[in-house]
Amino acid sequence: MNEKSDFLYGGITGVKLPVETFDLGEGLELRQTYCHLFSTNMMAFARPKEESHHPGPWKPARGGFAFDIEIELRVPNKTSLGDSFDAKDLIWWISALLRMTNYPFLSVPITSDISFQEIPQSAKEPDLAPFESERKFMRRLHEDGDIVRLYDLQWVAHKWQRVGNR
């Protein structure tokens, strides 16, 4: 049985941090990481046998998706926002504020109960859950490309609690 983690982690794609870590306050932290989330489309051509998988042959089909996750957002289960924001809501809230600054193209396609950096060495099986898996069709708004500006990170750190309490 999995023990409940004190944190939830959101994997952010589309942007990179200019620093190793950035503290947003109250235990929320953005950290550099790397993982590749992918899904391929496959087809099977026979019904599965009872209590088994579809037998071969399997053939790849066009499509699927892939995301390079460059940032993990660590969010504690409890903050000063109380019951109005759980950890998933906070991941959505922080990503929404980042989108408002200059990064409408970023997304959070997956969450985990273990830090993405720790998963390869973890004896505990992570609870990886889809979050925002739709592709964003927005373009970059500034010449800095995919590096989040420190000014924008500072703005989010300054605003997320105050605006979330309204």
Write the pLDDT tens digit of every residue in 48-60: 988 888 989 999 8
Inter-residue contact 31 to 74 (CB < 8 Å):
yes
Is residue 48 included in any domain, yes or no?
A: no
d(CA 13, CA 7): 19
Is residue 59 included in any domain, yes or no?
A: no
d(CA 163, CA 97): 10
Per residue in 66-118, pLDDT (tens digit) is: 899 999 999 998 888 888 789 999 999 999 999 999 898 899 999 999 999 99
- Global pTM exceeds 0.75: yes
Is residue 49 included in any domain, yes or no?
A: no
Classify residue 24 as exposed, middle or buried by CB count within 10 Å of its CB (0-12, 13-18, 19+).
buried
pLDDT band at 2 (very low <50, low <70, confident <90, very high): very low
> What does R_g of the chain's alpha carbons equal in angstroms?
18
Is residue 69 included in any domain, yes or no?
A: yes
Is residue 15 included in any domain, yes or no?
A: yes
Domain total of the chain: 1
pLDDT band at 1 (very low <50, low <70, confident <90, very high): very low
What's the domain range around 94?
7-38+64-161
Is residue 99 included in any domain, yes or no?
A: yes
Question: Where are the strands (E) in the chain, listed by range?
Answer: 7-13, 21-25, 28-44, 58-76, 107-112, 129-130
Is residue 133 included in any domain, yes or no?
A: yes
CA torsion sign for 87, 25, 67, 56 is negative
Is residue 43 included in any domain, yes or no?
A: no
Inter-residue contact 20 to 71 (CB < 8 Å):
no
